[in-house]
Amino acid sequence: MIPSSFFKRPVLEICPDLLGHFLVTEIDGKIERFEITEIEAYDGPKDLACHASKGRTARTEVLFGDPGQWYVYLCYGVHWLLNVVTGPVDYPAAILIRGIGEWMGPGILTRELKIDRRFNAQPADTATGLWFEFSDSRNQKYAFQTSPRIGVDYAGEWAAKPYRFFKAGYRSN
């Protein structure tokens, strides 16, 4: 299991290290592993695309909390989106999981993995039934590319920042 300490550092530093490793589910005793192929960084109070740019509210409280916890919210009233909170401590940032294995798209993967608000503010560990694992060693590096984030055109200059990370060949659009 990837320990919470892995997430206790700047989000832009974590993203390249997380690609290629695994998101793991345990549902009804059955364990499944999915390679992480596409993610996005949401980086702090000044990032207009980050929900925490609205400040500390009931919804964003988890972003200010412990690194390594899940942040799950309902998007467009339709899809649950899965994020993991990153550090540093008291700095509101997170990584959106956009593509895993065959499932491309942040709303599709949560539907397939039965992820909803039950996971919000829960730790990413085996007790929760949703966690990360290193594919080989924690220092394994995988080739990746970047692009602007998807669906955040409203965020001004922040919309153009290359905060989307994806493994080569796994670009979903």
Partner DNA sequence: ACGATGATGAAC
Partner DNA sequence: TTCATCATCGTA
Per CB under 7 A, residues contacting DNA are 40, 42, 49-51, 54-55, 57-60, 71, 73-79, 81, 83, 94, 96, 105-108, 149-152, 154
- The answer to whether the CB of 148 falls within 8 A of the CB of 162 is yes
Residues 6+ apart with CB under 8 A from 60: 51, 52, 54, 92
Min dist CB 67 to DNA, Å, is 14
Q: Which two tokens stand for residue 154?
A: 């409203």
Please report which residue ranges of the chain form alpha helices under DSSP H.
11-18, 106-112
Minimum CB–partner distance for residue 167 and DNA (Å)? 17
Answer whether 99's CB lies under 8 Å from 105's CB. Answer: yes
Separation between Cα atoms, residue 39 and residue 41, nearest integer Å? 7
Rank residues 121 and 145 by Cβ distance to DNA and give the closer one. 121
Nearer to DNA, 45 or 135 (CB): 45
Distance of closest approach, residue 50 Cβ to DNA, in angstroms: 5
> Min. distance of Cβ 62 from DNA in angstroms?
10
Question: In terms of CB distance, is 108 or 135 closer to DNA?
Answer: 108
